[in-house]
C-alpha cells in the first residue's frame, strides 16, 4: 500500500516540476501580470501601444564581444541598457565611455557574477554601493538588476534606499542555459510586443551568442517597425513622453 502511494506521489512531483519549468520558459502574460502586481516598483515591462521595446544586456563588459554588440546596435539605430559587473571593468573603461557616447546607459549588476539572493543582506548592500562608486564615474546610474534575477523584500528596500530601481524583464530566452543563438533570436521575436523588456547576456561565449542573435533580432524588429531603446527611454514612453 505504501509503495502504491509513493509511486504516484513521485510522478506528481515530476509533473509539478515540469509545469513550473514550462511556465518559466513560456513566461505567460498572466504570470508576468502577477509578478508586476506583487512588486509594482520592479520594472518587468510597460503598458503601451507604441512599437517600442527595451533591450538589456547583462554581465559585460567583454573586450571582444561588447564592441561587436555596439556596432550592431549602431547599425540598426538601437539603444540598450548594459547591466555591468564591475570586476570586469578594469581594462575595458573605453568600452564604457563608448556606450555612453553612443546613447546607451549603464545598469548596476553588482561586483561579481553570482546569485545576489545568496548573499548576506549586508554583503548585498556593500556590493551595490561598491559597484555604484565605479559606475557613477561614467554618468547617472538608476537601474539595478540582481544576479540571477531573484530578489526578496530586504533587497528591494536596500535598492530603494540607494535611489535605484530594480529592473528585470519580460522576454528572457534563458540564453546562459540554452546555448543556441538561433533559439534566443526566435524566442525574442516570438515574444516581442510593445513595452517588452528583452534580457540577453554578454561576456565570452554568451557575448558571441548575443552577437549572433542580434544579427537576426535587430533587422526583424526594424522591419516590424519597432524602436529598440534603453530602460529609461522605455519608462519615459510609459509616462507619455514619447
pLDDT digits (tens, 9 = 90+) for 166-223: 999 999 999 999 999 999 999 999 999 999 999 999 999 999 999 999 999 999 999 9
For residue range 128-142, list pLDDT tens digits in order: 999 999 999 999 999
Same domain, 221 and 125: yes
d(CA 130, CA 50): 37
Same domain, 22 and 111: no
Same domain, 11 and 49: no
Same domain, 84 and 53: yes
Interstrand relation of 143-144 and 165-166 (parallel, antiparallel or unpaired) = parallel
Same domain, 11 and 47: no
Same domain, 5 and 62: no
CATH of the domain at 68: 3.20.20.370
Same domain, 229 and 196: yes
Same domain, 144 and 118: yes
Same domain, 28 and 134: no
Angle at 57 between CA 140 and CA 43, to 5 degrees: 65
Same domain, 112 and 228: yes
Helix (H) or strand (E) holding 163: none
Q: Are 188 and 210 contacting, i.e. CB atoms less than 8 angstroms apart?
A: no
Same domain, 126 and 201: yes
- For the chain, what is the mean pLDDT? 90
- Residue 52: helix, strand or coil by DSSP? strand
Neighbours of 239 (CB within 10 A): 9
The tally of domains found in the chain comes to: 2
Question: So what's the pLDDT on residue 27?
Answer: 61
Q: Is the pTM of this model over 0.85?
A: yes
Same domain, 1 and 81: no
The domain containing residue 179 runs over which residues?
Answer: 41-238
- Residue 59: helix, strand or coil by DSSP? strand
Amino acid at each position: 500500500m505504501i509503495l502504491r502511494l509513493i509511486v504516484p506521489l513521485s510522478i506528481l512531483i515530476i509533473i509539478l516540476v515540469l509545469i513550473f519549468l514550462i511556465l518559466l520558459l513560456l513566461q505567460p502574460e498572466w504570470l508576468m501580470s502577477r509578478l508586476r502586481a506583487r512588486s509594482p516598483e520592479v520594472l518587468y515591462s510597460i503598458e503601451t501601444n507604441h512599437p517600442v521595446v527595451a533591450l538589456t544586456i547583462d554581465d559585460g563588459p567583454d573586450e571582444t564581444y561588447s564592441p561587436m554588440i555596439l556596432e550592431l546596435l549602431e547599425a540598426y539605430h538601437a539603444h540598450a541598457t548594459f547591466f555591468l559587473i564591475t570586476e570586469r571593468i578594469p581594462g575595458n573603461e573605453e568600452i564604457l565611455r563608448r556606450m555612453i557616447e553612443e546613447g546607451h546607459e549603464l545598469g548596476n549588476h553588482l561586483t561579481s557574477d553570482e546569485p545576489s539572493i545568496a548573499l548576506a543582506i549586508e554583503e548585498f548592500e556593500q556590493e551595490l554601493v561598491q559597484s555604484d562608486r565605479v559606475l557613477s564615474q561614467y554618468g547617472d546610474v538608476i537601474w539595478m538588476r540582481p544576479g540571477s534575477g531573484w530578489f526578496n523584500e530586504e533587497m528591494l528596500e536596500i535598492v530603494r534606499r540607494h535611489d535605484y530601481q530594480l529592473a528585470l524583464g519580460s522576454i528572457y530566452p534563458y540564453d546562459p542555459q540554452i546555448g543556441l543563438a538561433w533559439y534566443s533570436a526566435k524566442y525574442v521575436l516570438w515574444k516581442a510586443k510593445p513595452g517588452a523588456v528583452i534580457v540577453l547576456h554578454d561576456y565570452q561565449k554568451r557575448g558571441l551568442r548575443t552577437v549572433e542573435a542580434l544579427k537576426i533580432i535587430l533587422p526583424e524588429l526594424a522591419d516590424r517597425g519597432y524602436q529598440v531603446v534603453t530602460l529609461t527611454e522605455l519608462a519615459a514612453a510609459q509616462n507619455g513622453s514619447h
